[in-house]
Amino acid sequence: MRMIKPMADLYEQLRRLPGIGSKTAMRLAYHIIDRPESEVRQLAGALLAAKQQIKLCSVCYNLSDSEICEICGRRDRDSSIICVVEQPQDLMAMERSHGYKGVYHVLHGVLSPLDGIGPDNIRIKELLLRLQQTQVKEIIIATNSDIEGEATAVYLAQLLKPLGVTVSRIAHGLPVGGDLEYADEMTLARALENRRNM
């Protein structure tokens, strides 16, 4: 017997989500149709509201519900130090370490020639523009320690150093290939403290 269409559609949408295999998608689909309509409305509403209301900060490209994100808007942050991260979730991880008082720049990706992702596909131009517009003393590159993360760090260092700014790389006490996102606070604080010049 084939799945009835509304069920098949729901299953198909869930299965597209990252980390959701066919079994989990099926379990979630049955769970959703089992819930009261009010609860399903809340879920659907939250999905749509998140998509419609969340935009990117016009300064650092962090997720934000206003033109400028909370971090860029704060007076106690030092805008002359910029920490470059791959994704908004990496920024969140750095913030959890409580040791960092500078600001951020979110690339929204890393260089990955095999996947066709070059410098124009991530927010590198925006970073260069920022350097022209604000006084920046140091750029701390906090991309992950996997191949793409390292290659992106080297590329950025070559691009930025001639501009007269100090470029440093966080010390990856993180396991090789370890994601910033999953590092604990102590490890991150130490990685930041032990950053080295590139």
Our measurement of the distance from residue 195's CA atom to the centroid of its chain's CA atoms, rounded to an integer in Å, reads 20
Residue 96 beta carbon to Zn ion: minimum distance, rounded to whole angstroms:
17
CB neighbour list of residue 52: distance below 8 Å, 6 or more residues apart: none
Using CB under 5 A, which of 14, 25, 29, 60 touches Zn ion?
60
Does residue 79 bind Zn ion (CB under 5 A)? no
Interface residue with Zn ion among 14, 25, 29, 62 (CB under 5 A) is 62
Cβ-based nearer residue to Zn ion, 14 or 91: 91
- Give the H or E element holding residue 125: helix 124-133
Residue 72 sits in the site that holds Zn ion (CB under 5 A): yes
Residue of the chain from 10, 14, 25, 69 that contacts Zn ion (CB under 5 A): 69
Q: How many residues bind Zn ion (CB under 5 A)?
A: 6
Q: How many angstroms separate the CA atoms of 84 and 153, rounded?
A: 9
Residue 48: CA count within 13 A, CB half-sphere: 6
What SS3 class is residue 8? helix
Residues that bind Zn ion (CB under 5 A): 57, 59-60, 62, 69, 72
